[in-house]
Structure 1
Amino acid sequence: MFTIAVRAGPGRLAAKAPQLARAFHSTPKNTFFTSRTASLAGRANSKTSSNILSRLQGASRGYRTQYETYVDPATRRKELLRKLMVGGAIFGGTLVAVNAMFNRETREDGGMPPFERSYLNRTFMHTGLGVGIIGLTAYQMVQSGFVYRLMVTNPWVVGIGGIALSIGSMMATRAIDPDNYLPKYACWALFNATQAALIAPLMTVAPPALLARAGLYTLAMMGSISIVGATAKQDKYMYLGGPLLAGAAIVAVSGFAPLVLPATAVRTLAITENLWLYGGLAVFGGFTLYDVQKVLYHARAAERGIIREDPVNESISLELDFLNIFVRMVQILMMQQRRK
């Protein structure tokens, strides 16, 4: 998921460098192309993996009956209202806290110009549409048993092939002229489908309620940070590109630590896991702030005719930020659930 366009020249390489490392973080460490899951696929008929495989093979009925029980409609409505209120409180509190911490200096020109606002809104619309496509595609992959077929094949071949297809489809999307709607949106849809295949195994081990909570927390975090980036001074956070790239490299190294460290190094593995989870949250939260300001920077350049308007390309970076934060939110919530 490198985000350098094929048409980009050497002069633009440095400007797009902060997006290079994000490709390898949108998949959790324990997905279908890790050694742990390879072991799981090898023991598909054993009792220890029967719950996971039954969810994969059972399609709609087997997947739903794991978590769904009858609840009185009135109780369900009250629970939904309570969750919405909690979600609103989380979003509002996060917004106030992040604004108070990072956004003490806002725009002095009376607000965001109309063209920048329109360009940012179109970018967010494409980001939401892309995330929705990823979620629905991943759900269908689980229901149809496609994820099970992936897991019982060679996980390394599937993983490497999936990453290569993801990078290729993203580069093709970025390289296609925005006026060529059909091929550009076709490549963008293929890119979203590859992201769905990379996160679908996570949906087989996490209950729907936990996935919904993780999605709510991710929306609260990204929404508040995006508002900060949109209302801050022009280019105030553009300097974050270099430090974020360094942080992403450290997070990437910590993610590969379980593959090279011995299982006896328990304390070191715990440190690297926390660094991958919580450090990754901080890094990709920073990338969200950087990407929102970059969208506004590109909007000003497009208004002057320097570059072409392309909200599809802009949305790819924000989609990757969302997926990286969401995956870590799911893993953190699952860790907390196991401790209980």
Structure 2
Amino acid sequence: MSFIFTIRAGPARLAARAPQLAVRAFHQSAPKNSFFTPRTASLAFRASTKNSSNGILSRLQGASRGYHAQYDSVYVDPAARRAELLRKLLIGGAIFGGTLVTANVVFNRETREDGGLPPYERSYLNRTFLHTGLGVGIIGLTAYQMVQSGFVYRIMVTNPWIVGIGGLALSIGSMVATRAIEPENYIPKYACWAAFNATQAALIAPLMTIAPPALLARAGLYTVAMMGSISFVGATAKQDKYLYIGGPLLAGAAIVAVSGFAPLVLPATAVRTLAFTENLWLYGGLALFGGFTLYDVQKVLYHARAAQRGVIKEDPINESISLELDFLNIFIRMVQILMMQQNRRK
């Protein structure tokens, strides 16, 4: 007779249950034996108990060896882990510094002649960046809670078209409502702004279930480095120097959007065309939203001067929405590029 056990309890509990399992199996198989006697029953009981105990012990030893082998393969030295973390931080700092220097050399050869931002423009820009960072934090925490609660999985098993179109409609509606509310009505304005951030979190939450946390952290670090350096260039450049690029950026956004819909239209056999459109979506979109960051920072400063003259009202929330969208678009493409590089290494 043979036994198959699913080991879900500890060794002591299995050892205590071994005789009971053997007796139960023996009584189930005893009526089938026509030569049953008390002596043969005793011998069969001892043999079955011995075989069951040996089988359990061998399985427990095998499970123990497997556990130790798995633990040894997963275990990482804390010193090596700290060294790897320090190396990644140094690489991120080098990328940030190199991007800053390169952007200044290429785009910012002519800086402000007065030596810096006026106090009012600096204050308005700082408040805008404060709301941008707060919005990105709300999006990240909300997306994390959606993943932990299982809300993302329930979204993914439903119709993706309904979810995508509905989420896009809610995102656009909440953004339009936030921009339309006057800054004095701060309670409904902040409520609509929070709803906008929640819809953005729902749209990027499925990405957090696919990419590993370390890759998401690297993509966030690279996004902060890229946007930080470009924002510095836009803040220190001459007034209205890059506002002219708004029209070309809109045209580029239309081209990138069309390339994103190419897999839905082109056949699967057009491999080269699909590869080209994918590169255009990733790398072209990365450069495009870097340009949008430069344009949006200059637009914030332009609105600051207009608000100081009383032409428009101060509204850092509206200004932060554009920078949040720039951050999310750059972050998503960073994650996709890093995942492609990781798949090529495998």
* Shared fold per TM-score greater than 0.5: yes
Partner of 2:152: 147
Corresponding position: 1:200 with 2:205: yes
Cα RMSD for the two superposed structures = 1.3
Q: CA deviation at 1:247?
A: 0.3
* Correspondence 1:83-232 to 2 at 5 A: 83-232=88-237
Deviations 1:105-157 (A, max 9, x none): 00012211000000000000100110011111111111111010001111111
Partner of 1:308: 313
- Determine the C-alpha separation between the residues in 2 that align with 1:87 and 1:335: 19
Structure 2 SS opposite 1:142: helix
Partner of 1:256: 261
Q: CA deviation at 1:86?
A: 1.8
Deviations 1:17-73 (A, max 9, x none): xxxxxxxxxxxxxxxxxxxxxxxxxxxxxxxxxxxxxxxxxxxxxxxxxxxx55444
* Correspondence 1:55-94 to 2 at 5 A: 70-94=75-99
Partner of 2:330: 325
The aligned amino acid for 1:137 is T
The aligned amino acid for 1:227 is F
Corresponding position: 1:236 with 2:203: no
* Correspondence 1:17-32 to 2 at 5 A: none
Corresponding position: 1:269 with 2:274: yes
Partner of 2:252: 247
The aligned amino acid for 1:144 is S
- Determine the C-alpha separation between the residues in 1 that align with 2:116 and 2:227: 21
The aligned amino acid for 1:244 is L
- Determine the C-alpha separation between the residues in 1 that align with 2:180 and 2:239: 27
Corresponding position: 1:283 with 2:288: yes
Larger radius of gyration between Structure 1 and Structure 2:
2
- Determine the C-alpha separation between the residues in 2 that align with 1:212 and 1:291: 25
Percent identity (aligned): 88
The one of 283, 293, 300 aligned to 1:295: 300
- Determine the C-alpha separation between the residues in 1 that align with 2:80 and 2:183: 48
Gaps of 5+ in 2: 1-73
| Higher RCO (CA-CA < 8 Å; seq separation 6+) | 1
- Determine the C-alpha separation between the residues in 1 that align with 2:95 and 2:199: 31
TM-score normalised per structure 2: 0.77
Partner of 1:334: 339
Point out the more displaced range, 153-162 or 229-238. 153-162
Q: CA deviation at 1:175?
A: 0.7
The aligned amino acid for 1:208 is P
The aligned amino acid for 2:177 is A
The aligned amino acid for 1:196 is A
